[in-house]
Chain A
Amino acid sequence: MKQEPDTQSNGESPTLGSKDNNRRKKQREGKSGRLLLSRRAFLGVSAAATAALTAGYALKRPDVNFLSPSGNIYEEFTEEWISTSCLNCPTRCATRVKVQNGNAVRIAGNTLSKVSDGKTCPRCKIGLQVLYDHNRIQTPMKRNNPEKGKGVDPKWTPVPWGDALVEVSSKLKSLRDSGQPHKLLILDGLNSSSNDDLIKRFSLAFGTPNLITGDALDDEAAKAGEWMADGHYTLSAYDLEKTNYILSFGASIIESQKPLARNLRMWGKIRRERAIRAKVVVIDPRYSVTAAKADKWIPIKPGTDAALAMSIANVIISEGLYDSEFISNWTNGFEEYKNLALSQYSPESVAVITGIDADVIRQIAREFAESKPAIAWRGRGATCWPNGSYASYAIFCLNALVGSIDIPGGVIYQEYPEYKEMPAIVKDTIAETGNSKDAIDLRGKGKFKAAKVVTNQVADSIIENTLYPIEMAIGFNSNFNMLAPGTERWNEAMAKVPFYVHISPSFTEVSEYADIVLPACTLLEDWAYEHCPPGSGFTEVKIKQPVVNKLHESRTLGDIIFNIAGEIGGSVAQSFENIGDSAEGFVKYRTENLISWNDFRTNGVLVGPDYEFYKYDSIFETPSKKFEFYSGNLEALLKSSSSSTIQRIACLPHYTEPEFEGDEGGYPLNLVTYQPALNIESGSQNYPWAQEIYLVMHGYGWNNFVEINKETADELKIKDMDQVWIESPLGKIKAKARVFQGIHPEVVAIARGQGHYYDGEWSNEMGVNPNDITGVHYDELSGQSAFFNTRVRVYKA
């Protein structure tokens, strides 16, 4: 029989069986023998329970009654929608911004805008992060470290606005007083239309021809090609709404091609909102987002688009599929063009050049000609080459071949608002002398005969003191130290400039070389007017007005220019009188003939009259007043600048094998770069919303890769995500390899927009900048920088 535990003695130390415990236990037992809680125990338990419950409530818990993120209940609540516009890319979409209690919380499209049916592209919403960027310049800063270089700390100290402006203007004034206004370099990045107008006015009033925009990094060759054909030195606009066939030569239509928001909206429309579904064929060495969404992707050997275009012309002409009515009535030089195409660009011979089957060439040519209206769209992939102008010309001529000029669904001609004319610029003799000097980018001279601007040449010109040395520079929202090929030269050049004034909302790579930085307002605090780049045909004017109070001590760019001009005084100040006296005043002044100020501020957008087609008798600005397959404009230009005889072929669209940076033996692969949709073109990329989803096709953010074809990677023994070196004759960069099926075997691709080092916490030290190793070449006619003709070798790190 088992003994009761409490009477057991076991020789061990007392435990439950001790006599004392017995007594306590007997006390606890009530009459029924059950255990009862003593009063002390009851109180103890209650206290513990209360403490536990209190502790439970004291611990942090989510309280859904409070609706603000911080948990505050707002006593007052104001909400309003303000119309303004975007500037994260040159499209400048009209937007409306929701402002709650003085904070901008949401950006949506302005439904009154017709360019994109009130829609925007994804970059638009990043504007909120641009406005509240931690990397913004908060006050004017002065440099304290005389040494300038990449990675050299400028040692910024804040200075008051007054002092900064006085210093800048006195330096400018002394430059004028010494009779050297032309030694001022103005770097004009992505700015509002009104600010561009003000900058241009300033450069003319001041007396410097050295106004450098970034156009020659993007569009100049494309523009030159059209100019050769119809006299318009412009990007083409296309009536997308009614087109039935798009043949894209390297144009990333729904990824980066401006006007992006319009392209995105029209894509949806032409695919599934009409009776006829438009067909899209993309010719590109890389499987871009546009190629993924298109109906056919044709990989091509880079730089051979002109040959392909001429071969398509060959097929269209030889099979009699061209629009003979348009050709005979409205074109000039068709015979020569025809002979050239038929004799030298048979599909079989071009198949060898481009790597595309002759059958495929025939097939697209027929489709293109028979799916009217069709457009041939030349993009950067085809035009940013040493032979880019002629490639642009060849592709543009395809449109004329099938009659797609100024018709619904074809190429159209962008109209621009007729703002109120400003009074004439007051130019004194200093300005006149300065303006008469040649610009250091050698535009229109020697090498770059037809060029309006040769952006990338500026770096070399500064380094070599070409024509004359530059004494001072002002940068308005520019960042060529990241965006131009051969970035090392820009670093060297900007370090050499004796006095550089940087004006932009946030710190970027070029600001590292500044002597003074002035904080400009962001797109959501600025006063401006905007009009779209070519795309819609009809014109549209948009306002930019502050949606919130200016953050920090920023000032609008317009006000800064007015301030500086006023400080300089003399004819410069006079040129800025009577045009509004401030950024806001300037916008009002220039638009008051178009729309009432109240309406403009409320609606935010003014849509111009409908586009008129078929303007053949007035639209061609060529010697023959017709579309020219043999470019009279170019012939005149070449004749005027050289005395030797011009070869006929120099004025016809044709293919020449481009020169490459690097030889094929040492550098077997071709580097192409591209711009994803979320690349913000302001020069900064410090925006987490854009960074975290940067590469949609690869499913990664915060980085970029060197994308290599699988077979090529296998040969080089490179696996996915290996660290590799990409080396060109200019240098080498280290990046992760991405083994990708969507790229030509002889090509590697790197997305632009990463590789920052003087930006913000969300972009510094992430990815690489392929422009570091891109060679410096130009399409000499237009000054366009070549981006895709650099050869590289890739090997494991």
Chain B
Amino acid sequence: MELNFVSVEGNSKNYKIAVGVLAGLFLLGLICYAISYYEGHYLFGSSNVIPWGMPIVVLIYFIGLSAGSLILSTLVYVFGQEKYKPIGRMAVMLAIALIFGALVAIAVDLGRPENFWRLFMFFYWNNMTSMFAINGILYSGYFIISIAYLGIILSGNKVWMKRWGCLAIGWAAMVHMGTGAIFGFMAAREAWFTPIKPLEFLTAAVTSGVALLIVVLILTMKFTGRDLRKDMVISLSRLLIVFICILALLIFLDKMTHLYAPERAAVLYSLTGHYAWVFWVLQIGLVVVLPLAILFNKKLRTIKWIFIASLSVVVGVFFERFFLVIPQAGFPQQYYPGHIEGVYGAVGQFAFTPVETLVSLGIISMVVLLFLLGLKFMKALPEKTPEEIAAAAAKIATPKTEEALKTDIPAGPLVVENKPS
């Protein structure tokens, strides 16, 4: 079916409040970043034991979401799944906003950001065995490819959409597997070292990407007065079930491998020690248990519950990244046989400092803000059907109740009472 894409007006009160709040948070984050730039990273919670903190968590989370969104958009443009067409452009736009946020997060984490250009001296001044250097090529290429991808989509060239889409999906997969390799190739960090990490990251990316897409879709459609297209949502949720299951399997395999190795203290501590609740409650609970419990339940196949399940996955995958970067890095390394006394043998601690939290919130707000601005200045949403316009008008005349929103919307043209013939 042919779709016309439009941009949102951006005049509604909700929109303005959202933009205002996000811009405020972004500015606050910017100020905090400036403070940390001049003062030093002692304002962050990272340490010599847990060197990476919230900015890196935000970074890998956003890369995952971005790659996931982009891969899903190729469902439309490469695999020709027409039923997902309404969300195609939104997915690509989301992917670009997210990768931009990720690149900003890298810059925030660097100790000497004015040297950031050194990350782009490929093969000349870069050591290409480093996953960061390889990822430098992958991330910058991905940024360019996804912008070009959006351009091609906006221009409507179907042949190039498919070709470029193939490139995009392959590149996106490599991007996030590359991110996983940053961690998975580290022999010194016992809890990270496994070849499954790239695949686990890719699966988490697609899972969180689907979930984010569902969440964004529902929210955007609701706040712009469009139909919630339940069939597409349910179809996406079925995809989500598949990916959650694969992700759960990969996590399971990863942990079991480590637990079988005699040198298992670090992984065992992460699963049963002080911070194990982050894993069991926030990662497994929010990513696997809660969503599957909802999605497998036929009775809960409603927009609201799918929304809850997807939101749970989105938040849970954030904590999956957090658990990887922070608690799993904290276990002391076994420099010498025996128990190492004192600070060098103590489990690392991570403090949630205000500066770091606000900077991370700033980056997240920036991404959401970019998305909202993109909705306004780019034609990303499908044109409203006459029924939706009428419904919006009716809404202004007679206030719609919450009940009406929750009811099952059958497929097919909307039947409006008292429709003028």
Contact = CB atoms under 8 A, between A and B. Distances in A.
Does A touch B (CB under 8 Å) in the complex? yes
B150 to A, nearest CB: 13
Given A10-B383, A15-B7, A56-B114, A699 B345 contact: yes
Interface stretch (B53-61, B99-107, B240-248, B335-343): B335-343
Contacts of B342: 695, 698-700
What bracket does the count of chain B residues touching chain A fall in? 20 to 34
Contacts of B11: 13
A64 interface: no
Interface in A695-712: 695, 697-700
A10 B4 CA distance: 9
Contacts of A700: 342-343
A61 interface: yes
Contacts of B379: 5, 15-16
Q: Which of A56, A695, A697 has the most CB of B within 10 A?
A: A56
B156 interface: yes
A699 B344 contact: yes
Interface in A1-37: 2-3, 5, 8, 10, 12-13, 15-16
Contact of A13 (B9, B154, B340): B9
Nearest to B343: A699
Interface residues of A, number: 18
Contact of B341 (A2, A8, A697): A697
Nearest to B7: A15
A16 B155 CA distance: 13
B2 interface: yes
B341 A12 contact: no
A61 B112 contact: yes
Interface in A34-80: 56, 59, 61-62
A61 B9 contact: no
A134 B324 CA distance: 44
A283 B2 CA distance: 92
A695 to B, nearest CB: 7
B190 to A, nearest CB: 21
A698 B344 CA distance: 10
Contacts of B6: 10, 12
B377 interface: yes
Given A695-B342, A697-B341, A12 B114 contact: no
A2 B2 contact: yes
A12 B9 contact: yes
Interface string B2-21: 10101101010000000000
B102 to A, nearest CB: 21
Interface string A577-621: 000000000000000000000000000000000000000000000
B377 A15 contact: yes
B154 A5 contact: yes
A2 B154 CA distance: 11
A587 B27 CA distance: 69
Interface string A674-714: 00000000000000000000010111100000000000000
Contacts of B112: 61-62
A436 B325 CA distance: 77
Contact of A61 (B7, B114, B340, B383): B114
A440 to B, nearest CB: 45
A59 B344 contact: no
Contacts of A699: 340-345
A202 to B, nearest CB: 46
Contacts of B9: 12-13
B7 A59 contact: no
A61 B112 CA distance: 8
Interface in B304-360: 340-345
A8 B4 CA distance: 10
A12 B384 CA distance: 11
Nearest to A740: B341
A671 B7 CA distance: 79
Interface string B200-244: 000000000000000000000000000000000000000000000
Contacts of A8: 4
A10 B154 CA distance: 16
A24 to B, nearest CB: 16
A112 B222 CA distance: 87
A43 B342 CA distance: 60
B117 to A, nearest CB: 8
B383 to A, nearest CB: 7
A260 B340 CA distance: 27
A109 B220 CA distance: 75
17 contacts: A5-B379, A10-B6, A12-B9, A13-B9, A13-B11, A15-B377, A16-B377, A56-B114, A59-B114, A61-B112, A61-B115, A62-B112, A697-B341, A699-B340, A699-B344, A699-B345, A700-B343
Given A15-B7, A15-B379, 15 more contacts: A2-B4, A2-B156, A10-B6, A12-B6, A12-B7, A12-B9, A61-B112, A61-B114, A62-B112, A697-B341, A699-B341, A699-B343, A699-B344, A699-B345, A700-B343
Interface of A: 2-3, 5, 8, 10, 12-13, 15-16, 56, 59, 61-62, 695, 697-700
List the 8 closest A-B pairs by CB distance, nearest first.
A699-B342, A699-B341, A700-B342, A59-B114, A2-B156, A10-B6, A56-B114, A698-B342
